[in-house]
Amino acid sequence: MPRKSPRSRRKAGTPPRVPSAARVRSAPGKSRARPARAARSMKGARPVVPARSRARRPAQRLRPAAAPGPRRARAATPDPVRVRAVLEQLREAYPDARCALHFATPLQLLIATILSAQCTDERVNIVTPALFARYPDAAAFANATPAELERLIHSTGFFRQKAKSIRDSCADLVARYGGEVPRTIDELTALRGVGRKTANVVLGNAYGIASGIVVDTHVARLAARLGFTRETDPVKIEMALMPLVPREQWTLFSHWLILHGRAACNARKPRCSMCPLSPHCPKIGVTLSQ
Ligand code: SF4
């Protein structure tokens, strides 16, 4: 009976043995890739790649460098020329942009902005005349009876938390600043119940101080669709937008985006076909438009 060769006696599915000469051995000063290549060139032999060699081959080195799609590239690094074109279109579209909340003093704007959270500006403007008449200064708000204050602001929603924020922030104003609203972002955000967005609204609109960019739901949505930032946290969005927009336009920029978010770039179905920004907008994330 003829003797079978070792290869023909091998069971099906058994990996072929690699000759010892092709196995990788550590050799100081010598490349370890050479034995692996030798193993690959052996017919039927599985390539043996040393652990160190594998570790040096991240997946992206095995593939050609992926060319980022135009939408992704624009989202990562907005072209300054495109940003300027967007700003110019917004300025032309909303020449009368201004704060929609009614106020006569910085304190009133602070209170109105606290009330505007999760509420329309129109609703806040309905509530504030009676509120400001009842509580004329920070001391009056600080000493307000919670039940009465809550009743007056009830229709703006989240009235218990808002009443607490109003009383706490006004108590801080009385204790630290004699009832006056301070003029710096650090002082304002140190007040209880006052966040960065509220502070930016007050500084930009009551004092004309460009301390930052107000980021509300409209600003966040449009900043993403316009490819200005991929951030989702409001403070990170603000930090990403500030270098793109001239400082003297920071306050207006927020008003422009808020107005445009209401007029055209709404959340569910933006009106891209009639949008003046369309030639300059990558429409990031827009799947349905009209
Ligand atoms: S083109 Fe569309 S997505 Fe872009 S800003 Fe206008 S409405 Fe929004």
DSSP annotation string for 223-258: HHHTTS----SHHHHHHHHTTTS-GGGHHHHHHHHH
**Are the C-beta atoms of residues 126 and 112 closer than 8 Å to each other?**
no
Distance 101 CA to ligand 1 centre (A): 25
Distance 116 CA to ligand 1 centre (A): 25
In angstroms, the CA 152 to CA 211 distance is 31
In angstroms, the CA 73 to CA 132 distance is 49
In angstroms, the CA 113 to CA 121 distance is 9
278 CB near ligand 1 (under 6 Å): yes
Percent of the chain clearing pLDDT 90 (strictly above): 72
**Are the C-beta atoms of residues 191 and 181 closer than 8 Å to each other?**
no
Amino acid 76: pLDDT: 61
Question: Of 90, 259, 289, 290, which is best to mutate to test ligand 1, by the most ligand atoms within 8 angstroms of its C-beta?
Answer: 289
The question of whether 4 is a catalytic residue gets the answer no
71 CB near ligand 1 (under 6 Å): no
3-state SS string for 113-136: HHHCCCCCHHHHHHHHHHHHHHCC
The question of whether 216 is a catalytic residue gets the answer yes
- Express each pLDDT in 106-145 by its tens digit: 999 999 999 999 999 999 999 999 999 999 999 999 999 9
In angstroms, the CA 273 to CA 224 distance is 18
Catalytic entry in 96, 197, 236, 269: 197
82 CB near ligand 1 (under 6 Å): no
Residue matched to tokens 């403007």: 125
Distance 249 CA to ligand 1 centre (A): 20
In angstroms, the CA 249 to CA 210 distance is 8
281 CB near ligand 1 (under 6 Å): yes
138 CB near ligand 1 (under 6 Å): no
Residue 32 makes CB contacts below 8 A (sequence gap 6+) with 24, 26, 50, 52, 53
In angstroms, the CA 179 to CA 166 distance is 13
Residue 3 pLDDT grade (very low, low, confident, very high; cuts 50, 70, 90): low
Q: Is the per-residue pLDDT at 239 higher than 80?
A: yes
Tokens of 184: 């710096």
Distance 222 CA to ligand 1 centre (A): 8
In angstroms, the CA 25 to CA 72 distance is 45
Segment 194-201 mean pLDDT: 96
Tokens of 185: 């972002």
Q: Which atom of ligand 1 is nearest to the CA of 282?
A: 4
Q: Is the per-residue pLDDT at 168 higher than 60?
A: yes
Q: Which atom of ligand 1 is nearest to the CA of 283?
A: 3
In angstroms, the CA 257 to CA 86 distance is 10
Distance 156 CA to ligand 1 centre (A): 30
Segment 165-173 mean pLDDT: 97
Where is pLDDT greater, at 198 or 46?
A: 198
185 CB near ligand 1 (under 6 Å): no
- Does the domain made of 106-263 have the CATH classification 1.10.340.30? yes
Tokens of 83: 């940003």
Delimit the domains of the chain by residue range. 106-263
Amino acid 68: pLDDT: 41
Residue 100, SS3? coil
- Express each pLDDT in 50-77 by its tens digit: 444 444 444 444 343 333 443 444 446 7
